[in-house]
Homo-oligomer: A and B are copies of this chain.
Amino acid sequence: MTQDAFSETLITTASDQVFVDMRREIVEGSIEQGSKISEPELAKRYGVSRATLREALNRLESCYLVERKANVGCRVVALTAERLIEVYQVRSALEGLACRLAADNMAPDEVQSLKQLLNQHLQTQRVKEGESYYQEAGDLDFHYRIIKGSKNDHLIHLLSNGLYQLIRMYRVQMGMVGPRVSKAFDEHLAIINAIENHDGELAELLMKRHIRASQANIQTKFNLHAAQNERAEQ
């Protein structure tokens, strides 16, 4: 029994393993967005029976990475502009809430530890300029810690097991290593300060604004991406 990094999923059964593996492949694009999933084919590829694979597919559906139709089958979600907007509207509302709750419920040592993490990120970034570490894993870590700081288990589950994989999928496949790094750092700092001051209202507002900026950033990349694809199709 081992543990998965991104959602703290305990891996005990074979279907757990297939679930985590497929999730990574979908998020990273090894399994192409919008593509049809053949149960017999994938079962053979992962070396498990169809029952086990179907169990994994069910859980991928729960976190919005695949869509099923009865008697027709499964396909990977398509990354559309509309869906991006929808998901970010929901994310903004939920993480805003998480931030407000965290201002009340986060333990002092959790806050200190998060501030420390931010400093660490800043230095790492200054030393190895251009590395994408902060932007990808670091940003996720920051958000994840605040989400956990809300102490609302339902909310935590909704975000980390539900929305975040889809958000990661957009970020990874759009190649998010943009120039928003230092700006995002300042925003993160302001948010953690508001939380430290137990100013939930401000923390919520700042987080919503931060997420809106992030959305705009991804949307730009998305349009660029879409334009490239159009050109490629001609």
Task: Show the binding face of A for B, using Cβ within 8 Å.
Answer: 10, 12-13, 16, 51, 54-55, 58-59, 61-62, 64, 70-71, 83, 86-87, 89-90, 92-94, 96-97, 101, 152-155, 158
Contacts and interface: CB of A to CB of B under 8 A. Distances in A.
A97 B86 contact: no
Contact of A94 (B61, B90, B152): B90
Contacts of A13: 70-71
27 contacts: A10-B70, A12-B70, A12-B71, A13-B70, A13-B71, A16-B70, A51-B51, A58-B58, A58-B62, A61-B62, A62-B62, A64-B154, A83-B154, A86-B152, A86-B153, A86-B154, A86-B155, A87-B154, A89-B97, A89-B101, A89-B152, A89-B154, A89-B155, A90-B158, A93-B94, A93-B96, A93-B97
A121 to B, nearest CB: 28
Contacts of A97: 89-90, 92-93
A42 to B, nearest CB: 18
A135 B153 CA distance: 29
Given A58-B59, A93-B93, A158-B158, 7 more contacts: A12-B71, A58-B58, A86-B154, A86-B155, A89-B97, A89-B152, A90-B152
